[in-house]
Amino acid sequence: MENEQKLVKDCLKGKAVAQRQLYDLFAGQMLGVCYRYTKSLADAEDVLQEGFVRVFKYLGQYRAEGELGGWIRRIMVNTAINYLKRNSKYQYDLAFTDETLHPISDENPQINIEVKELVNLIRQLPPGYQTVFNMHAVEGYTHVEIGEILGINEGTSRSQYMRARNLLIHWIEKYSEEPKKVFYVGK
């Protein structure tokens, strides 16, 4: 924690070595965060670079009240969401509607699945579902916060999350029935 505070102070002084150290310390982890919101590694790398530009721009606002990694993560998530909103190839897919694709259910499947396999399935969700699912289930945002950030109402956030969850349950159940096959859903 003290090393991070010194690193932040050195970055704020404009020391390039410290900026590089900060980037190297968090880039790998934050690339994973960015990748969860995008559909390609190239897009995730674009979001990462844009996110770090914002990190360095707003580093003076970091108050050291929480973990530096958590503060950077929040910037990366917001950067990813803004990227999705303004990037034309995500515009149509990010439209949030209340049309029913899958019934909402409260079932809790007891199926074992590897983390890598689950991440692959989450990445195959439609972008709107994927965004809400990641924000709520992974990042811990409330549906009220998600609604404010994405410009949707809380109910839409809840229904998008439940539909994403149910679609994942469906895929996981199908995946578990075919354990030796690699299961891919997508275009």
**What was the pLDDT predicted at 178?**
61
Are the CB atoms for 72 and 105 separated by under 8 Å?
A: no
Same domain, 21 and 77: yes
The per-residue pLDDT for range 7-46, each reduced to its tens digit, is: 999 999 999 999 999 999 999 999 999 998 988 899 999 9
Look at residue 101 and give its three-state secondary structure: coil
Same domain, 147 and 172: yes
Of 67, 90, 113, the residue at which a domain comes to its end is: 90
Give the residue numbers spanning the domain of 157.
92-187
Are the CB atoms for 185 and 175 separated by under 8 Å?
A: no
Domain count, the chain: 2
Query: For position 79, which CATH number holds?
Result: 1.10.1740.10
Integer Cα distance of 112 and 104 in angstroms? 22
Same domain, 104 and 24: no
Integer Cα distance of 116 and 110 in angstroms? 17
Mean per-residue pLDDT for 134-141? 92
pTM of the shown model: 0.70
Of 30, 61, 90, the residue at which a domain comes to its end is: 90
Sign of CA dihedral 38, 42, 43, 45: positive
Same domain, 96 and 74: no
Same domain, 184 and 103: yes
Same domain, 23 and 60: yes
Same domain, 45 and 116: no
Integer Cα distance of 104 and 73 in angstroms? 30
Look at residue 167 and give its three-state secondary structure: helix
Integer Cα distance of 161 and 166 in angstroms? 9
The per-residue pLDDT for range 157-169, each reduced to its tens digit, is: 999 999 999 999 9
Please identify which residue in the block is written with the tokens 């439940």: 162
Please identify which residue in the block is written with the tokens 């704020």: 12
Of 28, 62, 90, the residue at which a domain comes to its end is: 90
